[in-house]
Amino acid sequence: MNFIENGTVTSPKGFKAAGVVGGVKPSNTTKRDIMMIASDIPCTAAAVFTKNLVKSSAIEVTKKNISNGIAQAVIANSGNANTCNADGIEKAERMCELAAENLGIDKNDVIVASTGVIGQILPIEPFERAVPEIAALMSENGGTDAAEAIMTTDTVKKEAAVSVEIGGKNVTIGAVAKGSGMIHINMGTMLSFVTTDAAISSEMLRAALCEAVEVSYNMVSVDGDTSTNDTLAILANGVAGNEEITTRSADYTAFTQALTALCKMMAKKLAADGEGATKLMVCTVTGAKTVADAKGAAKAVICSSLVKAAIFGSDANWGRVLCALGYSGCDIDVTKVDVAFSSAAGEIYVCKNGAGIDFSEEKAKEILLEKEIVIKVVLNDGDGEAEAYGCDLTYDYVKINGDYRT
Amino acid sequence: MNFIENGTVTSPKGFKAAGVVGGVKPSNTTKRDIMMIASDIPCTAAAVFTKNLVKSSAIEVTKKNISNGIAQAVIANSGNANTCNADGIEKAERMCELAAENLGIDKNDVIVASTGVIGQILPIEPFERAVPEIAALMSENGGTDAAEAIMTTDTVKKEAAVSVEIGGKNVTIGAVAKGSGMIHINMGTMLSFVTTDAAISSEMLRAALCEAVEVSYNMVSVDGDTSTNDTLAILANGVAGNEEITTRSADYTAFTQALTALCKMMAKKLAADGEGATKLMVCTVTGAKTVADAKGAAKAVICSSLVKAAIFGSDANWGRVLCALGYSGCDIDVTKVDVAFSSAAGEIYVCKNGAGIDFSEEKAKEILLEKEIVIKVVLNDGDGEAEAYGCDLTYDYVKINGDYRT
């Protein structure tokens, strides 16, 4: 399994994409904000969505369209979430129709997604104008433009691809995502689309997606707010020519491992570019009684505003890590907990058996001044392990979110 | 029931207090940081503590000392939490001994509490020096100095008192508290001490405290971090001369109502002075299926970083309120939800039946520029009501917490 240089959603064979400046927000005249991804032939498909009761109308339409396990294209926009609007379903349906008409496919095979401000009517005119243009631009080099078109407060495009040999064939899996704020455990992203040329049944595709999500997108938190629009969809068109994966075979395992590696990479990209973030924060928990305890503990640490602010300040305030472990609700013996901070600059233990130990503040500072910080929690109480991804809490998070709608 | 002007923990009869500059943090040479509160005679007593598994040693000692329902004094410090230290119990016990020796009472009748940095050894020398001084200064006017001595990043002292007639006698209840950061649902404070001259059995005192806490301290969140040191203790010395409250009588109800009003006032003070806060944010939920749903919904709204940042920016981003309601886990019909913002400048509805409505952005801005903002959520689905207290998320929260230990 290898990551592909400059990999994106059009790296797998038989996929095209494009993104244009549609002007979904009237004030936007420069950033791509509407995109499509399409396969040359129909795909097996699977998707997971936000658990928020308040859901984008786009999600309702996508759920219906994907219920038969088949899809062929994605249409998505940034700038407006199409959520909490009386005419939301109608608008989402129209987006699918426009995509289908211009791509020459069935409108029930379109996945639709929106991201942006909640509660503002989605203007349909930008789509009427832009979709024919996008259809004309669809190309095998369009993945990057599609990645740009779903960005909101993201500061970098999020895309990657991996290749893996399955049944003697070279299979590629590619992904784009947008994240930034309103990111929390359980679909810690707003939108992500994954493509693959693997041949895999929709049931096995769904199983692989769920396995991968559990340890990647579901372990990311930026700010504790679960979005109303979170959508992660995967399309598999079978063009790689491998024998179709229909059971939990060795091929299934190889595919799922590659998909998981890709999703973990995307999860780290999402966390590192959290709104206002200056640092990626990874919490690894080992020695937990169970995997569930390890996950809960890791999530509590990366979600703590106080830990996040301390990491921003490069302050080795490990007491806040203990505090978060203590309220995590997990079965932890606090008298057995060891904590270390590590980064490219080294590793330093700051707590053993739940109590502080002497450590060099100078060395700790040096470690915490790096851009990728690992908070290592050793519970010494079993074999459960987990890893969660977050970012620091900064002035810019507050600035970005103090006046988001304008 | 009336609030007393300049009321504090020494407003009830028979209580004295004092606070001095002890230098618990070597760098502190100007702020009072050690205090005692004492009753002239033994009191019935009750207390509730943090639910964090990681607990201050002070809490372990207090739990033991208060287990018989009797206490006579409080000793507390700021600047060091005495949490996650190998010698924590020994130090907390020594604080009780010093208080007892100098006040001439039993060391098992002392409530001890600490607040400050976690995981640094508590120096005992400042207490050896300061406690005799405090004992000499104890007075009926000392409540305010005691309130100062427990402040950490608090910017204002938090104290209040109410008077209520019970059984023909004038009963007073007073309180001091410190809050600021690491404040979350379920004991949303770090330290608070309540005194009363009411005569009330320790069982009834405990019952009244639990009732009051449930709708006040337990409905405050500043940053979602549950502290390791949260302690709320109440002492009742009976000096008011009312017939002792020993059952759930009309007197019990009158006492509990007054205590609840006092605790709600303190909860608002804690929320309004949350770290970096510029605004008090109150979320009122009505029309919920159950009180539990109303509470859950109100808490989700005041805990949302995105709602908090929007309130800081005076941005009527009600979609974030809907989003928080949606992930609250409560039984809510999102198609029935109405939302309004209100303040001293008026009230404006921004969402009806779960969808946006036209509203004056100008008027909304005017309302949100005030210092006390009410987010009014009407669920139109039952009779459950609740109110939760929080504050905005600001640059200063990040600044304060980016480098707290120095």
CB < 8 Å to A119, chain B? 318-319, 322, 351, 355-356
State the nearest Cα–Cα gap between B280 and chain A, in angstroms: 16
Report the 10 Å Cβ neighbour count for A248.
12
User: How far apart are the C-alpha atoms of B356 and B318, rounded to whole Å?
Assistant: 8
Closest B-chain CA to A226: B327
pLDDT for res A124: 97
- What is the ipTM, given to two decimal places? 0.75
B338: nearest Cα among B369, B381, B281, B372:
B381
- Tens of pLDDT, residue by residue over A100-134, are 999 999 999 999 999 988 888 999 999 999 999 99
User: How far apart are the C-alpha atoms of A87 and A80, rounded to whole Å?
Assistant: 13
pLDDT in tens, chain A (406 residues): 899 999 999 999 999 999 999 999 989 999 999 999 999 999 999 999 888 888 899 999 999 999 999 999 999 999 999 998 889 999 999 999 999 999 999 999 999 999 988 888 999 999 999 999 999 999 999 999 999 999 988 888 999 999 999 999 999 999 999 987 666 655 445 788 999 999 999 999 999 998 988 888 888 877 767 777 788 889 999 999 999 999 999 999 999 999 999 999 988 888 888 888 899 999 999 999 999 999 999 999 999 988 999 999 999 999 999 999 998 989 999 999 999 999 999 999 999 999 999 999 999 999 999 999 999 999 999 999 999 999 998 888 788 777 766 5
**Which structure tokens are listed for B299?**
């808490």
Q: List residues of A with catalytic annotation.
A: 189
Taking a C-beta distance cutoff of 8 angstroms, is the pair B159, B143 a contact?
yes
Residue B189 a catalytic site member: yes
Q: Which of A327, A334, A355 sits opposite B85 (nearest CB)?
A: A355
State the nearest Cα–Cα gap between A406 and chain B, in angstroms: 9
Q: Which of B49, B50, B54 to mutate to test the interface with A (most CBs of A within 10 A)?
A: B54
Report the 10 Å Cβ neighbour count for A360.
12
Spell out where A26-109 has E strands.
34-49, 70-80
CB < 8 Å to A398, chain B? 309, 312, 393-395, 397-398
Closest A-chain CA to B86: A355
Residues B189, B196, B228, B256: which is the catalytic one? B189
State whether B393 and A395 contact (CB < 8 Å): no
A322: nearest Cα among A393, A392, A378:
A378
DSSP string of A93-155, one letter each residue: HHHHHHHHHHHTS-GGGEEEEEEEESSSPPPSHHHHHHHHHHHHH-BTT-HHHHHHHT-SS-S
CB < 8 Å to A355, chain B? 84-86, 119
All residues at 6 or more sequence positions from B27 whose CB lies less than 8 Å from its CB, including other chains: none
Determine which helix (DSSP H) or strand (DSSP E) holds A251, and give its type and residue range: helix A250-272
Helix-, strand-, coil-residue percentages of chain B, each rounded to 5: 35, 30, 40
pLDDT for res A187: 47
CB < 8 Å to A86, chain B? 355
Q: Which of B86, B118, B318 sits opposite A323 (nearest CB)?
A: B118
Report the 10 Å Cβ neighbour count for B208.
27
Q: Between β-strands A280-288 and A384-391, what pairing exists: parallel, antiparallel or unpaired?
A: antiparallel
In terms of DSSP H, where are the helices of B192-314?
A: 202-214, 250-272, 291-303, 305-312
pLDDT for res B50: 83
State whether B354 and A84 contact (CB < 8 Å): yes
How many A-B residue pairs are in contact by the CB < 8 A criterion? 202
pTM (predicted TM-score): 0.80
DSSP string of A264-277, one letter each residue: HHHHHHHHHTSTT-
Amino acid at A131: V
Placement of tokens 């995509």 in the chain: A99
User: How far apart are the C-alpha atoms of B160 and A259, rounded to whole Å?
Assistant: 59
Closest B-chain CA to A182: B306
**Which structure tokens are listed for A95?**
């987006």
Closest A-chain CA to B317: A405
State whether A225 and B326 contact (CB < 8 Å): no
A95: nearest Cα among A124, A70, A118:
A124
State whether A319 and B121 contact (CB < 8 Å): no
- Structural domains in chain A? 2-272 (3.60.70.12), 280-402 (3.10.20.340)
CB < 8 Å to B318, chain A? 119
Residue A279 phi/psi, 5-degree rounding, is -145, 145
State whether B309 and A401 contact (CB < 8 Å): yes
Q: Which of A118, A303, A315 sits opposite B405 (nearest CB)?
A: A315
Taking a C-beta distance cutoff of 8 angstroms, is the pair A18, A35 a contact?
yes
All residues at 6 or more sequence positions from A373 whose CB lies less than 8 Å from its CB, including other chains: A279, A280, A281, A282, A311, A341, A342, A343, A367
pLDDT in tens, chain B (406 residues): 899 999 999 999 999 999 999 999 989 999 999 999 999 999 999 999 888 888 899 999 999 999 999 999 999 999 999 998 889 999 999 999 999 999 999 999 999 999 988 888 999 999 999 999 999 999 999 999 999 999 988 888 999 999 999 999 999 999 999 987 666 655 445 788 999 999 999 999 999 998 988 888 888 877 767 777 888 889 999 999 999 999 999 999 999 999 999 999 988 888 888 888 899 999 999 999 999 999 999 999 999 988 999 999 999 999 999 999 998 989 999 999 999 999 999 999 999 999 999 999 999 999 999 999 999 999 999 999 999 999 998 888 788 777 766 5
Q: Which of B55, B119, B398 sits opposite A351 (nearest CB)?
A: B119
Taking a C-beta distance cutoff of 8 angstroms, is the pair B190, B115 a contact?
yes
State whether A312 and B355 contact (CB < 8 Å): no
CB < 8 Å to B309, chain A? 397-398, 400-402
Closest B-chain CA to A121: B356
Backbone conformation region of residue A96, classed left if phi is above 0, alpha if psi is from -120 to 50, else beta = alpha
Q: Which of B50, B51, B84, B289 to mutate to test the interface with A (most CBs of A within 10 A)?
A: B84
CB < 8 Å to A391, chain B? none
Closest B-chain CA to A354: B84
Burial A125-144 (b: 16+ CB within 10 A, else e): ebbeebbeebbebbeeebbb
User: How far apart are the C-alpha atoms of B124 and B129, rounded to whole Å?
Assistant: 9
User: How far apart are the C-alpha atoms of A134 and A239, rounded to whole Å?
Assistant: 23
User: How far apart are the C-alpha atoms of A300 and A315, rounded to whole Å?
Assistant: 18
Residue B267 phi/psi, 5-degree rounding, is -60, -40
Burial of A70 (0-12, 13-18, 19+ CB in 10 A): middle
Q: Which of A305, A354, A398 sits opposite B84 (nearest CB)?
A: A354
User: How far apart are the C-alpha atoms of B155 and B275, rounded to whole Å?
Assistant: 9
